[in-house]
Amino acid sequence: MSRISVRGFAVASATAVTAVGSVVGVASGSVAQSNDDAEATAAGTTLLADIPMGEQAQVQTASLTRQADVQAIAADASAKKDAEEAARKAAAETAVAKQEKAKKAAEEAKEREAEKEAASRDAQRESTTFVVQSSYSTSQIQAMARQMVPSGQFQCFSNIVNHESSWNYQAVNASSGAYGLFQALPAGKYASAGADWRTNPATQIKWGLNYMDVRYGSPCDAWAFWQANHWY
């Protein structure tokens, strides 16, 4: 049997390995290896005839498997790099979103606190600053409320009073005894705002505003609860 050189196969294999090596950094020398270099490498390879016939296929398979392994390593490295970059980008976006959310929450809390402080200051206004009358019209009572309730909260405040008493400061629930603008039960709760709570709407308004602020945070928060439950 004549000795058949596998020079061509070796050159092709060396060139393929060199090309793959240039991607992952495992090949030495320049990326564009010349054919002469490949041939020089091939010159030191084993001739196919030197390998027993039954093992030649295994040798070729091993060479191809080695090339596939190199390519797989390169692909894994690239995929890992892409995954790390995507993770860094997602983490950065999440951090920015959290900062924006925290900033917005802080601003909203500041606004609510300012409204509560304003409501508290207005609620401290003594009912004696209003002219005492023997009776009050709905428009007069509403005018009092507008002076005591923050403008941004007045509509919510008014909605509750409308549902509870229709702005009648002497309204009485015949079955329960609930009384006044806010249908306080027991009626004596108004006394914490002033002894004249039965005859002075301003005293009732002062009590009602303080109740909404303390229990719910604001008249609008109280109104939201009322809409969901039909009581507050």
Average pLDDT over residues 86-90: 86
Domain carrying residue 192: 124-229
Residues 86 and 179 in one domain: no
**Average pLDDT score over residue span 82-98:** 86
User: CA torsion sign, 135 to 139 to 144 to 145?
Assistant: positive
Residue 105, both tokens? 């929450």
State the pTM of this model.
0.48
Q: Do 23 and 82 lie in a common domain?
A: yes
Query: If pLDDT is split at 50, 70 and 90, which confidence band does 94 have?
Result: confident
What is the Cα–Cα distance from 226 to 87, expressed in whole angstroms?
A: 46
132 and 190 both lie in a single domain = yes
Considering the domain boundaries, does residue 105 fall inside one? no
Report residue 232 CA to chain centroid gap: 31
In a domain, 106, yes or no: no
Shared domain for 143 and 217, answered yes or no, is yes
Least confident span in 15-19, 38-42, 123-127, 204-208: 15-19
Helix (H, G, I), strand (E, B) or coil at 172: strand
Same domain, 73 and 18: yes
